[in-house]
Amino acid sequence: MKKFNMTINGQQIISDSYFDVINPATEQVFAQCAKGSADDVDRAVDAASEAFKSWSVMADADRKAALHAVASLLETNMPELMELIVQETGKPMLGLNQVGAGMEVGGAAAWAHVNADIDLPVEVIQDNEDARIELHRKPLGVVASITPWNWPLLIAIWHIIPAMRAGNTVVLKPSPLTPVTTARFVELANTVLPPGVLNLVSGDGDVGAAMTAHEGIAKVVFTGSTDTGKQIMKAASGNLKRLTLELGGNDAGIVLDDVDPIAIAPKLIGACFHNNGQTCAALKRLYVHESMYESVCSEMARLASGLVVGNGLAEGTELGPVQNQMQLEIVESLAESARTEGGRFLCGGKRREGKGYFYEPTIVADLVDGNRLVDEEPFGPIVPVIKYSDIDEVIKQANSSPNGLGGSVWSTDTARAVEIGKRLETGTVWINDHGAVQPDMPFGGVKQSGFGVEFGLHGLQEFTSIQSVKIAK
């Protein structure tokens, strides 16, 4: 069985202990990963601190070239990394609307190339006979990256490439449920990066706790649950670490009264079910005007019933399993609650028999706000469709969630949709789309979905401090 190791100071670290990694499609152990400790975190931070001395002052062109080399390694090793992603996450090689392992690795490479080329020029605030004032962006130091299990490689790239581009060094901790692709990537990246610039310590929550409280770490970037984000905030207060937190979402979509149900249903299905619904910014609550309600529900149920669910390595699979047993149980609990509260199950509604954490794609009608499936994030292949009649009331319902990651409005009247979308309390609003992100568009949450943004120039600036330089004349 393949074993995956930690990387500290450019070296593979053989551990005294390894933990099992399960393939959610088979429920079988397919790999083992090194179990790190707080001592390993100390060693990684020491290595990153030492590497920061030279990496932070490296010529900008050289740092760009190194990160482009990292991106090229993703492209060169794409088949191997895709197979590892399928085995540890369950997502298909291609997937629904091509959202699968291929998109994860290809997207990671593209994201790395784009971020490698973003510049942080000196900004001139004043330049007259009295003084010249310049604003410089400076790297922070050692950045801790803690990543989730749903998009393990892609989100790691979202964290670490801009951190390194800005001149920081990194200690990365992947989810213990999906550590292997990230561990292999970091091993590859260290063939082109100076030792200590990118380190990986794998393990359980004690590793993450050691990182978030570590005095040698200047910033933590975390993607995951709101509860864990709050714990990180408390731990980070010791040395006033900078934070970027992309936390839970329960994104609402609002379908107006002028749409063609047949035309929009495929896009709605993609927005709800890509990656089996296991995406922070997937569409998780769908509000449909009463005049369109039955037509939209019927067409979505027809399409969802035809989705191909199975092992991600099998050709033609569109949706894989839920990634882990705990998350499957959450989906089952919310489905049972919806059933008890009068939800009308238009398709799906149960776990598939046999091995694997498979749950049928499920559309539930006739629920209202206050039902658990509407109010809580399922993070799985189940979606409630809620009927509304008044636009002001539905905006109020959409905004009633404590989360505020993303939202969408669906209409043939773009101007009307934009005005409604601007009233949503979310970090991002999509019009006639949902969940589409790109490397030059800032992305982040409001309310309990976190703070700080990722992507593009604004995301890169999150990994810097401002130094104002005033030159008297």
CB atoms within 10 A of CB 470: 11
The CA-based angle 221-224-230, given to 5 degrees, is 75
Separation between Cα atoms, residue 227 and residue 209, nearest integer Å: 14
For residues 363 and 297, the answer to whether their CB atoms sit within 8 Å is yes
CB atoms within 10 A of CB 427: 23
β pairing state of 131-139 and 123-127: antiparallel
Q: Which residues are catalytic?
A: 246, 280
SS3 171: strand
Scan for tokens 């636009």, then name that residue. 391
The CA-based angle 24-317-28, given to 5 degrees, is 20
Q: How far is CA 343 from CA 221, 302, 386, 390, 391, in A?
A: 38, 18, 10, 21, 23
Q: Which pair of structure tokens corresponds to residue 267?
A: 């896009």
Separation between Cα atoms, residue 229 and residue 248, nearest integer Å: 9
Write the DSSP assignment of 184-202 as a string of letters.
Answer: HHHHHHTTTSPTTSEEE--
Separation between Cα atoms, residue 409 and residue 422, nearest integer Å: 10
Q: Is 26 exposed, middle or buried (0-12, 13-18, 19+ CB in 10 A)?
A: middle
Q: How far is CA 358 from the centre of its chain?
A: 22
Task: Fill in the DSSP letter of residue 366.
Answer: S
Scan for tokens 């590497």, then name that residue. 51
Task: Fill in the DSSP letter of residue 202.
Answer: -
Task: Fill in the DSSP letter of residue 194.
Answer: P
Separation between Cα atoms, residue 441 and residue 43, nearest integer Å: 35
Separation between Cα atoms, residue 374 and residue 370, nearest integer Å: 7
| Residues facing residue 220 across a β-bridge | 144, 243
All residues at 6 or more sequence positions from 274 whose CB lies less than 8 Å from its CB, including other chains: 95, 96, 97, 99, 282, 435
SS3 292: coil
